Amino acid sequence: MIAALLLSFGVIFVAELGDKSQLMAMTYALRYRWWVVLLAITVATTAVHAASVFFGHFLGMSLPTDLMSVLAGLAMLVFGLWTIYGDRLDDEDQNRATRVGASVFLAVMSAFFLAELGDKTMLATITLATDHDWLGVWIGSTVGMVAADALAIGVGVLLGKHLPERVIAIGAAVLFFGFAMWLTATGLTGASTPMIAATITAAVVIIGVGTFLIRRDRRLRADSDSEAAVPERSLGVHEG
């Protein structure tokens, strides 16, 4: 249980760094009492990860351990590329962070619950629960996420600005790739040649698709910035 707790804490803490829910935590902390925000996040996280662990635990009971370890490694590879790709608050998430009704606690809790559904931290928790002690994963993943969001809240309260997202994203991605190598190597120990070949093929495909999406996203951002800069340059020439 202790090993599962520590592993889950590390994986989820890393997964949460630079995630949109961490950005939401910082946004809320700039406007409301930090302890209310942290308590709401804790309740929402406990509920989401309880469901994740339940699903992952029973899924893992029906699949071979070695296969689950390989799948977990491939999932960590996806999470690493996902982290490099970047995670930003879209309009809907921004509205949740700025629109609060009569109860700040319920508003923050519901916002984080919705934000975590289908997020990489939820998927990582499900993956871990398939092959590790479910109670350790539940506690570790919940504490890991709350700790990461508490870090964001602290920075939001003390500094009033975001963490250096790019540096954090790169560091988190490196750790994810490390988890991916470790889990995949564990699962492939003594594996058959077809399984090794299939795993390598899957990893190459994941890296290829991830690299393509990252490069495309960078080009789209560059084009968008260039288009936004054109009117400003045109206006400057006209005024001159």
Give CA–CA dist 124/62, Å, rounded: 18
> Over the stretch 147-165, which tens digit does the pLDDT of each residue have?
999 988 887 777 555 556 6
Residue 200 has pLDDT above 90, yes or no: yes
Which two tokens mark 213? 């999406």
pLDDT value, residue 233: 53
Q: Is 58 in contact with 186 (CB distance < 8 Å)? A: no
> Over the stretch 128-148, which tens digit does the pLDDT of each residue have?
888 788 899 999 999 999 999
Q: How far does the chain reach from its first CA to its final CA, in angstroms?
A: 70
Highest-confidence segment of 113-122, 150-159, 199-208: 199-208
pLDDT value, residue 207: 93
How high does pLDDT run on average in the chain? 78
Residues in CB range of 23: below 8 A, 6 or more apart:
87, 88, 89, 93, 152, 162
pLDDT value, residue 162: 52
SS3 217: helix
> Over the stretch 6-62, which tens digit does the pLDDT of each residue have?
889 988 888 888 777 787 787 777 777 888 889 999 999 999 899 888 888 877 656
Residue 91 has pLDDT above 60, yes or no: no
Residue 98 has pLDDT above 70, yes or no: no
* Percent above pLDDT 90 for the chain: 18
Give CA–CA dist 83/169, Å, rounded: 6
